[in-house]
Every structure is written in structure tokens, then in C-alpha cells.
Amino acid sequence: MLRTINSKFYATAALLIIVFSCGYYVLSFYLNEQNQLAVQMLENSNAERDIRSLNRLFYEIRFWERKILEEESPEANARFGIMVKEVRERLSGLQKQEPGLPVQSRLRHIQASMIEYETIFNTYIQLKTSRNLHRTVMDTSYQSLVSNILNNDKDDLFKPLFNLTHFFINYLIHQNESGYHALVLVTDYLGKKIEESNIPDERTLAYLFSFQEVLEKDYRILQDMKDTKARFDTENLKLTGLFNIVFKESALLLKADFSKAEKKRKELNRGALALTVTLAVILFIAFFLFSKSIVTPIRSVAAAMWQVKTGNSSARFDLDGNRNDELIQFGYYFNSMLDSLQESEKKYKNLFDSSLDAILLLDPEKGYLDCNPAAVKMFGTGSKKQFLNLSPFEISPDFQPDGMPSSKKMNRVLSLILENGSALFEWTHRRLDGREFIASVMATQVKVGGQLIIQETIRDISEHRQAQEMMIQSEKMLSVGGLAAGMAHEINNPLAGMLQTADLMTKRLTNDRLPANLQAAREAGVGMADIRSFMEKRDIFRMLQTMKNTGLRMAGIVNNMLSFARKSDAQTALHDLTELLDKTFELATTDFDLKKNYDFKTIKLNRIYEKDLPLVPCEGAKIQQVFLNILRNGAQAMQDAGTGNPEFTIRTYVKKQSFCVEIKDNGPGMDKLIRKRVFEPFYTTKPVGVGTGLGLSVSYFIITENHKGQMSVDSSPGRGATFIISLPLDNRGVPAPDRE
């Protein structure tokens, strides 16, 4: 019935609307009841709080009341008035809140008592103020009386005066009725003594009568204060009792409200719980009915997606169900998509792993993320993990061929890639063993999941570049060969005439048996001995010999130049190159003598020959000439550089159907410019007259043209030079005889 996602969605939505409508109604009713209870409780709580605050204010009034009575604080009167006013305002506010009938009645009683309390307290303060003023008058009267008696200097009055002073102080301290009556008796006795002493000053009795009147009035004020204080204390006790009763009644009323609210809340909670359980059961039944058709298929697809995300590309949606259901169809479509993705991933993986070019995935911030086996092999790392731990700077030399630091040039290339999306460039890389090679790099910017990744395809073009240089060198050789052939033919004729003339002159000047020489000497009037003596003294014979030697050297140069133009007519044969190498080394040791300023025999020779090497079809004499030229150049370079412990390392091996010979020295090496021109004819780094610049160029011609092989040099300053010769093997691959 509900096969489509839309129908399931609408049915579920309708059910949820019904359930949530019922829930909303119940929740609204519950919240309304709770709100009413909360308002009522808040009002009662506010009333209880105000009553508690009122009670606290009353005790503060009592505090400032004591301060006023004890006259300890100047601000007591002001604080007392503020507190009384605040209590009146709080009482008025509480009566408006209507906290409850019993409490309202108590509050009205408190308000009336507060008025009475304030009236009595004000009366008492007025009496106390009046007494303080009257006390000042009484003290003045006393001082006047005492001064007058002392001035009259009557000895019989001193004792009554002393008694007056004693009882007056006692009255002031105790302020009781007995003290007052005792003081009255003392004043009466003092009056009699004054009359008996016949004091001429009439003011003495006047002062005494004035003191008695003031004392009587002070006693009356004191009695009024005591009566007022008694009324004040009674009213105080009444107010304290009322405040305590109101406080307790308000607390009980609040407690009753809380109990009522709690009971109501429990009733509402039980009802809400019953409805919630009912709605939950309905929802559970509804979700249970629709889970199989909605949740379970989606969960199955999500689980398959998660497994694919975590690397399990073989995960599939495996839920059986009605094929007409849209979600089930979605699951099967998902499986088809995963099959296509897996097939595409396999193709990419095969292309990635089988590529002969190194393919690298680079995060500009984190480094290398992945590489193929060709990259591991190209850079000489032991494993893929080891390569991924390297940084781009570790597989590049410090400087590129143009002299720019690799780090600076790498930043430029990266900026170009990010700007244009891709870049094709040449880069000099470095293997882990330190060897450098030239590579063609195709870098492309891609985004995977929002992450910027650069894919680099690296191809080692060292051999291609070497082949290009060899082709250029061969073209140079052919061009120079044609030029050399023409020059050689042009030089040969005058050179032959010069050598023949020099030889003929030597014979005519030295041969004293030749008839023509004897006849010419007689005709000239000299003897042959005189001619010989003159020639020897003028060093003519040495000059003729020098001309002859120079001509022979020129003839040798001409023969070398003709080697570029002639095709070899010699027949090739199978030779053991290791044996030719040994013979050449022996020849080199005998070829150098002391006049060369060094002894070739002092050079150490290291032989690294592979076993069971095949014979090589070649012209043995010419191959020996090549070996000898290389050994001579290396020996002279080590001698000129003053190399300590000079040595040659000769290594032979077979590689790709070619016989390879490496001749390495530990001399000064050569820079890039010399290395590129070392095979050019007439190019030499030796002084004029020492080298012709044809030795290595002829060797190169013999290997590449006469034997169709390859010849290259690997060198850098301070690391010596390695000449690499590669000769093609005969298809027969005849092994060389065992060497003892």
C-alpha cells in the first residue's frame, strides 16, 4: 500500500501531527495550571518575605531605640526615623497584597501599635530632653550654692556641705526615690545650719531655696519618665509578640500553599505521565510499522556507506525486500554505483601502480600522501612508508642547475600551479644515495573532498638528456670530421715536402761520402769537416732535428684528424675486454717515464670484474687506444692536482645486452662546463703544446661511430671522474675463457 517514499512520509507526518497536537493541548493545560499555582505561591512567598523583612526592620528599630536612649550615636535619631517610616510603608504595602485574613488582622493591630509605640517613644524623648535641660539648671544652682558657702568661710557649714555633695552625687547616679528623700533631708539640715551661722550674705539661702525647687522639679520629671518608660516597654513587648505571631502565621500559610501546590502538581504529573505513555505507545507502534520500510533500508545503506568510507570498498546493501519499494530500489542502485566505483578504482589503482613514471600525491601543508612503486624505485627508498616520511626538500639538491635554491624555486613553481591549475617543468631531483638526476615533472592541482592536492607525475629523463647530448656530440664529430679530412689533405702535401726537405738537408750537410757533397765543397773552397764544424757550432743540426720532430708530431695530428673521416677497414673480432684492460694498464705503466714528472706505477688499480662475462665483438687495438687515452688523461689530471694516493677503479658488468666498462679516478673532477665539452675535438684544459684536444674526441668517435656504442662521463668538482663505455654484445653471447 505504502510503496513510495512520499506516501510513507505523508502518513508518518499525519500521525506525528495528531500525536503532537494532543501533546500540545495537554502540555498547554499542564503549563496553565502550573502557572496559576506558581503565581499564587509567588504572591504568598513575597508576602512571607516582606513580613520577615518587616520583622527584621522592627529589631533594627529596637537597636536604634537603645542607641537613642543611651545617647551613643549621633545618627541614631535619623536612622530611627527612617526605620519607623519604612515600617509604616511596608505595613501599608502588605495590607494591599491581601496575604490572608488572619495575617491581615494581625497587621492592622501592628500598625495601630506602631502608632502608639512611636507616640510614647516621642513623649519619652521629650521628657528626657527636658530633664537634661533641667539638669543643667540644677547643676548651675548647686555650683552657685557651693561657691557662696565656700566664699563665706564658715567652718560649721563644711560638713553639711560635704553631706549635700555626697547625697547629690548619689541621687544623680541612682536616680531613685530614697536618694531623693535623703537629699531633701540634707538640704533642710543645711538650711538650718545656714540660719544658725548668721551669714551676712543673704544670697546663700536664696541659692539653697532655688536648688531645692529645681531638685523637686527634676524628681517629678524623673517620675514621669519612669511611667512613660513602663508604658513604652509594655507596648514594645506587645509589638514583639505581634511580629512573632505574624511571622509564624505567614510561614504556616506559605507552607500550606506549598503543600497544596505540591498536591496539585502531583495530580497534573500523573495525568501528564498517563497521556505521555499513551502517546509514546502510539508513536512506538507507528514507528515500528514504518521502520522496516523506511529506517531499516536507510540504515543498511548508511552502514554500507560507512564501510566504504572506512576503506571496505566491497561493502554492499544486502537487504531483501519488495523490489517495487523505492528505498529497496535505491539500495540496489547504490550497489550498482559501488560496483562501478570499485571497477573504476581498480583501473586507477592498476594504472597508478603499473606506471613506469613516479606518481606522487602531495598536500602542500602536510607533505606526501601517497606514491606508486615507481616512485619508491626511482628515489631509492626501501619502502613506500619510508618515502612518505620524506619532505620535498629531502629529495631535491640544495640548488637547481640555474643556481637558484631549490626551496625558493619550489615556492615559485607551487604558486604557478595554484594560479594556473597545472605546470610542466624540469626539476633536478636527488636519490637517497645522493645521486642527482634530471626529471620532467607534470604537476596538476586537484581537489578531493575540499582538500587541495597536487598530483605530480615524474619521469627520469637523465638517459634521454644524455642521449640528446650524445647526438649533439656525434653531429659535432661528423661536422668536425669532414672539416678535419679537408684540413688534413691540405696540410699533408706541404708537411711531406717540409719533412723531406729537412731530411735531405741533414744528409747533404752531414754525409761526407756523397760525391755531390764533396764536389760542391771543393767548388766552394771548403771541406766537409769545416761545414760540419760550422753547423755544430751554430746548432744547425739540432734545429733540423727539431723541425723533423715537429713535422712528425704534425703528421700524428693529421692522422688523428683523418680518423674522423675514414671508415675503419679493420675486421672486428671477439675479445675479452677485461684482458684488454689489463694489457692497456701494463702498456700505460711502461709508457710514462721520469721526464713526465711522475711514475704511473705509483697509481693504485682496483679491479671489480663480474664473473662469466661474455666476449665482445670489437677492434681490439682501437679499444685499447680508448682505454689508454682515458688512463693517460686521468693520470695527468691527478698529477697536476697533486692528488694524494691516486687510484683507478675499473668495473665491468653486463647491462641490457651491452658490455659496460667504468673507469673511475679520484682526481680533481670537472665542472659542468668542462664535462659538456670534454669530447669536443681540439678542446683541452692543458697548456699550449702539451695537449692536442683530440684524445678523448677520437676515443668518443671510436666507440660511437666505429662500434655503435655509447660513451659518457660523470663528474663533479672534488669527486673525481667516471668514464662509462657501453659496447653492444654479439648475439651469440660467447662467454670469455676462465681467467686464472
Q: Which of 373, 379, 313 is nearest to 342 (CA)?
A: 313
Question: What does pLDDT average to over the chain?
Answer: 78
- How much is the average pLDDT of 53-64? 72
pLDDT at residue 96 greater than cutoff 70: no
| DSSP string covering 484-521 | HHHHHHHHHHHHHHHHHHHHHHHHHHH-TT-HHHHHHH
Residue-level pLDDT at 733: 46
Pairing of strands 710-715, 358-363: unpaired
Collapsing DSSP to helix, strand or coil, 660 comes out as strand
Residue-level pLDDT at 479: 56
Task: Identify the DSSP state of 736.
Answer: P
Task: Name the grid cell of 600.
Answer: 704511473
Q: Which of 436, 336, 330, 320 is nearest to 379 (CA)?
A: 436
Collapsing DSSP to helix, strand or coil, 726 comes out as strand
- The single residue listed with the C-alpha cell 754525409 is 511
pLDDT at residue 488 greater than cutoff 70: no
Q: Which residue has the higher pLDDT, 239 or 615?
A: 615
Report whether 423 contacts 445 (CB < 8 A): no
pLDDT at residue 467 greater than cutoff 80: no
Collapsing DSSP to helix, strand or coil, 532 comes out as helix
| DSSP string covering 607-645 | EEE-SSPBPEEE-HHHHHHHHHHHHHHHHHHHHHHT-SS
Q: Which of 291, 322, 286 is nearest to 3 (CA)?
A: 322
d(CA 697, CA 692) in angstroms, rounded, equals 10
Pairing of strands 710-715, 451-460: unpaired
d(CA 265, CA 343) in angstroms, rounded, equals 65
d(CA 579, CA 627) in angstroms, rounded, equals 12
Pairing of strands 358-363, 658-665: unpaired
Report whether 146 contacts 271 (CB < 8 A): no
Report whether 60 contacts 68 (CB < 8 A): no
Residues in the chain: 740
d(CA 228, CA 123) in angstroms, rounded, equals 7
**Among 162-171, 193-202, 563-572, where is mean pLDDT lowest?**
563-572
d(CA 580, CA 736) in angstroms, rounded, equals 12
Residue-level pLDDT at 469: 64
- The single residue listed with the C-alpha cell 650524445 is 470
The amino acid sitting at 488 is A
- The single residue listed with the C-alpha cell 688534413 is 488
- The H-or-E segment that residue 426 falls in is strand 422-430
As a whole-number percent, the residues of the chain with pLDDT over 70 amount to: 76
pLDDT at residue 609 greater than cutoff 90: yes
- The H-or-E segment that residue 163 falls in is helix 158-174
The amino acid sitting at 325 is D
pLDDT at residue 652 greater than cutoff 90: yes
d(CA 598, CA 649) in angstroms, rounded, equals 19
Residue-level pLDDT at 661: 95
> pLDDT-based confidence at 594, cuts 50/70/90?
very low
d(CA 617, CA 615) in angstroms, rounded, equals 7
**Among 159-163, 224-228, 313-317, where is mean pLDDT lowest?**
313-317
- Give the tens place of pLDDT for each residue, 666-695: 999 998 888 888 888 776 766 555 556 677
Contacts of 668 (CB under 8 A, 6+ apart): 637, 638, 640, 641, 643, 717, 718, 720
- The H-or-E segment that residue 715 falls in is strand 710-715
- Give the tens place of pLDDT for each residue, 508-553: 777 777 888 888 888 888 887 888 888 888 888 888 888 888 887 7
Contacts of 136 (CB under 8 A, 6+ apart): none
Question: Bridge-partner residues for 707, per DSSP?
Answer: none
Burial class (CB in 10 A: 0-12, 13-18, 19+), 238: middle
Neighbour tally for 527: CB within 10 Å: 13
CA angle (10 as vertex; 285, 2 as ends), nearest 5: 70
- Give the tens place of pLDDT for each residue, 282-326: 777 777 766 666 667 677 777 777 777 666 666 766 656 666 666
d(CA 169, CA 152) in angstroms, rounded, equals 23
Question: Bridge-partner residues for 647, per DSSP?
Answer: 604
**What sign for the dihedral angle of Cα 533, 535, 538, 539?**
negative
> pLDDT-based confidence at 72, cuts 50/70/90?
low
Neighbour tally for 437: CB within 10 Å: 17
As a whole-number percent, the residues of the chain with pLDDT over 90 amount to: 8
Q: Which residue has the higher pLDDT, 115 or 416?
A: 416
Q: Which residue has the higher pLDDT, 71 or 194?
A: 194
Collapsing DSSP to helix, strand or coil, 278 comes out as helix
**Among 482-486, 531-535, 687-691, 720-724, where is mean pLDDT lowest?**
687-691
d(CA 240, CA 247) in angstroms, rounded, equals 11
Q: Which of 622, 629, 611 is nearest to 580 (CA)?
A: 622
Pairing of strands 573-575, 604-609: unpaired
Report whether 651 contacts 661 (CB < 8 A): yes
Phi, psi of 684 (to 5 degrees): -145, 150
Residue-level pLDDT at 606: 92
Task: Name the grid cell of 660.
Answer: 659496460
